[in-house]
Structure 1
Amino acid sequence: VVNVVIYGPIKIKAITLTNTNESYCIIDHTSLIFTLFPAYILIISVLGIVFNVFVLMVFCLHKKACMVAEIYLSSLAGADLALVCFLPFWAEYVRNGYDWLFSESLCKLVPAVISMNAFCSIYFLVLISIDRYVALVHPLSLERMRSPFYAKLGCLLVWSLGLVFALPALIYRKLKFEPQSNVTVCDTDYSYSQHLVSEVMTIILSFIVPVSIISFCTVRIIHALRNRLTRGSNTERKEQKATNLILAVLLAFLICWVPFHVSKLLDVLEYVHILRCHIILLINQQVSVYLAFFNSVLNPILYIIVGKNFQKRAKELCTQWGSKRTASFTRLSTHTRLTISNHQLHKLLHR
């Protein structure tokens, strides 16, 4: 039994199998989702590449070494850049009605990079939260932990764990031809139990554990900031300015990624037949994925708008480049004048 439901621009087929009485939802191939979302993804990709490259240039090309929080933020920008560079492949996949036109290697690599980004991004935020927690709540007893060496070590650990987290996509993603719809899908070749374990582990490791740590640190940070503001010293005000950006990035991440992980949880409940196929579930699944992608563009915007230290670094970098160009122009002018003078002297000597 097939029921077609039109919900705004999204046309969805609710299919019920008469022999097992099970139901599942699929997006109809004529739905506008295959036109709207690919364009949205391409816009996100272009903006994300431009903004995150700019952020990395400010952090990495500045003459001053990055502080601990800036090391974490530059790593976060690197993870976002990796994501948006691979999103155009996914946009083309959606535009073709989930018909994969590329190689099986890209079928493995693109979802692996997206999974790695989701994992690394939230754990870089965990490191940022812990750094702010140590700086504001335990500034004396745990100050040794806040060194660039430990920050780089922490980032290396997160990248390594992110690679491990992406391994299932590299191993189990395969191309499958579906004769019913005449498309080649890029999907995981999981058994029922493997799929269930994978989804549950993703929810626990990528959502419950990190969000719990972030929530604890954030509550203690806000409490410490309130106590420090009553003193009103310059040091406390500087700490508050440094923390405002972190809190803004944390809030943006939660707004963009919490719906995605809630959707994953609902998918698991539907997979084990606790929930039945519902149009709202599929719409929530689609919207939450693309809201999560938007976080890769939102982060660098927050650095520019909220980050006072980032703004200062960007201005200093522009001044640094301007000074280099001026010095290069001056050297070129001096060299040109000397060349002309030598040429004139050479003429005088040979008259």
Structure 2
Amino acid sequence: MSISANLSMMSGNQTQGNNTECKLYLEDWTFHLIPVYILVISVLGIVLNVFVLMVFCLHKKACTVPEIYLSNMAAADLVLMSCLPFWAVYVLRHLVWPLDESMCKIVTMAIVMNADCSIYFLVLVSIDRYMALVHPMTQMRMRRPSYAKLGCLLVWGLGFLLRLPTLIFRKLYYEGNVTRCHIDYPKNTYLVFALIPFIFSFCIPISIISFCTIKIIKVLTNRLTEGLESQNTDRKATTLVLAVLLAFLICWVPFHLAKLLVILIKLKLGIITKCSVLYVLSICRPTFTYLAFFNSVLNPILYVIVGKNFRKKLRNCLSSGVM
């Protein structure tokens, strides 16, 4: 995750053997509009995810398997949202980092790691719904709280390992009196460190979520003929599954497409050579980055607050006086 006030990209026509350097500057409005957007989604995300965690933690009964996944997802989203204001200040200061190098590493690591963890908790929820609806005969054996907790632990570990290079290679560098928080991979390793997160943070999760969603919708569609009572329930379930998939696609697909284009540019394959295209990409990339983080605001709304079981837990907490 990075944006640059002075992003230089080499655009070359390899058939002619000449290279031109495009000097790309972020427009001044981005340094004012983006911080406001970041702060708004941070406040919304913090409030919503704290609310979700309070209900799960204060309720007397133990969490079910889906609730274990949802509470961990809310925790990941909460940490992510809590770190974004640091980046808002960074952008507002025209990408002048105000803190020391350790905070440069920790804040960035916390943002990208918890974004990955949030996505994989979304994967676990999708798999859980798939098991419950598509393979109901085996769900009792597989859907145990102990397995769910182990799965969450593995997700946290995977998130840390995937973003460990961020902690290692993110550092401060200086342009005169200006201090930047920038990631600097070792020479000839950029492609590896760029493609691994792309595959594990997007390609694999979107494949699993899409597979589970298609299977779930197929099962729910078949049930629509079973009676009027089941139609209403299944229609709501189908709408929720589609809404979650659509929200994930809208938030994350533009970000990863822009990231893929940046990878192609840095490889200097000559696929993207026009400075006008590079200029548009320099604007879209940070915009799509913060659009992706909006998914952490939508998660508690789509998956939890609209759910009947969550509303029941909330009523119980309110009636018992714990909230």
TM-score range, shorter chain: 0.7 to 0.9
Structure 2 match to 1:302: 302
**SS of residue in 2 equivalent to 1:193:** coil
Q: Which of 92, 96, 101 is 1:99 aligned to?
A: 96
Q: Deviations over 1:292-347 (max 9, x none)?
A: 121222222334663222222212211121xx69xxxxxxxxxxxxxxxxxxxxxx
Aligned-partner residue type, residue 314 of structure 2: A
Q: Distance in 1 between matches of 2:225 and 2:154?
A: 38
Q: Amino acid of the residue matched to residue 224 of structure 1?
A: V
User: Where does residue 119 of structure 1 map in the other structure?
Assistant: 116
Could you tell me which amino acid in structure 1 is paired with residue 96 of structure 2? D
| C-alpha distance in 2 between matches for 1:50 and 1:237 | 31
Tell me if 1:90 matches 2:87: yes
Is 1:68 aligned to 2:102, yes or no? no
For 1:213 and 1:279, the matched residues in 2 are separated by 34
The verdict on how the C-alpha distance between 1:184 and 1:13 changes in structure 2, with shifts beyond 3 A counting, is closer
1:12–1:279 CA contact under 8 A, matched in 2: no
For 1:137 and 1:13, locate their aligned partners in 2 and report how far apart those are by CA, in whole Å. 49
After TM superposition, the structure 1 stretch with the greater mean CA deviation from structure 2, 268-277 or 245-254, is 245-254
Residue 78 of structure 1 is matched in structure 2 by 75
Task: Give the aligned partner of residue 212 of structure 2.
Answer: 217
Counterpart of 2:94 in 1: which secondary structure?
coil
CA contact 1:245–1:307 (8 Å) conserved in 2: no
CA distance 1:284–1:89, shift in 2 (3 Å):
same
The answer to whether the aligner puts 1:199 opposite 2:199 as a matched pair is no
- One-letter amino acid matched to 2:148: A
* Contact 1:25–1:282 under 8 Å retained in 2: no
More deviation, 135-144/79-88: 135-144
Q: 1:323-334, aligned counterparts within 5 Å?
A: none
Alpha carbons of structure 1 residues 161 and 108: separation in structure 2 relative to 1, 3 Å: same
Alpha carbons of structure 1 residues 154 and 241: separation in structure 2 relative to 1, 3 Å? farther
For residue 288 of structure 1, report the CA deviation from its aligned partner.
0.5
- For residue 36 of structure 1, report the CA deviation from its aligned partner: 1.2
- What corresponds to 1:286 in structure 2? 286
In structure 2, C-alpha distance between the alignment counterparts of 1:148 and 1:236, rounded to whole Å: 30
What is the rounded CA distance, in whole Å, between the counterparts of 2:204 and 2:314 in structure 1? 35
Q: CA RMSD in A?
A: 2.6
Unmatched 5+ residue regions in structure 1? 1-10, 326-351
Secondary structure in structure 2 of the residue aligned to 1:65: coil
Unaligned runs of 5+ in 2: none
Tell me, what secondary structure is at the counterpart of 1:184? strand
- The 5 Å alignment of 1:151-300 reads 151-179=148-176, 182-232=177-227, 244-273=239-268, 274-276=271-273, 277=275, 278-300=278-300
Q: Secondary structure at 2:294's aligned position in 1?
A: helix
> How far apart in 1 are the matches of 2:32 and 2:76?
27
Match of 1:315, SS? helix
Task: State the alpha-carbon separation in 2 of the partners of residues 116 and 15 from structure 1.
Answer: 27
Change (3 A) 1:74 1:184: same
Is the Cα–Cα contact under 8 Å of residues 112 and 163 in structure 2 kept in the other structure? yes
What amino acid maps onto 2:19 in structure 1?
N
Say which SS state the counterpart of residue 189 (structure 2) adopts.
helix
How far off its partner does 1:98 sit?
A: 0.7
Residues 1:289 and 1:15: Cα distance change in structure 2 (over 3 Å): closer
* Of 245-254 and 114-123, the range deviating more from structure 2: 245-254
* 1:21 alignment partner, SS class: strand
Q: Is the 8 A contact 1:132 1:243 kept in 2?
A: no
| Higher relative contact order, structure no. (Cα contacts within 8 Å, ≥ 6 residues apart) | 2
- 2:19 match: 21
Q: Secondary structure at the match of 2:19?
A: coil
Determine which of 31, 43, 51 is the counterpart of 1:54. 51
8 Å contact from structure 1 (residues 112, 169) kept in 2: yes
1:132 aligns with 2:129: yes
Larger Cα-atom Rg: 1
2:10 & 2:228 partners in 1: Cα distance? Answer: 66
- Alpha-carbon distance, 1:170 to partner: 0.9
State the alpha-carbon separation in 1 of the partners of residues 282 and 81 from structure 2: 24
* TM-score for the superposition, normalised by structure 2: 0.87
Distance 2:239 2:140 in 1: 20
1:224-259 CA distances to partner (integer Å, 9 max, x unpaired)?
111122213867865765665454333322211111
Amino acid at match of 1:203: F
Per the normalisation by structure 1, the TM-score is 0.81
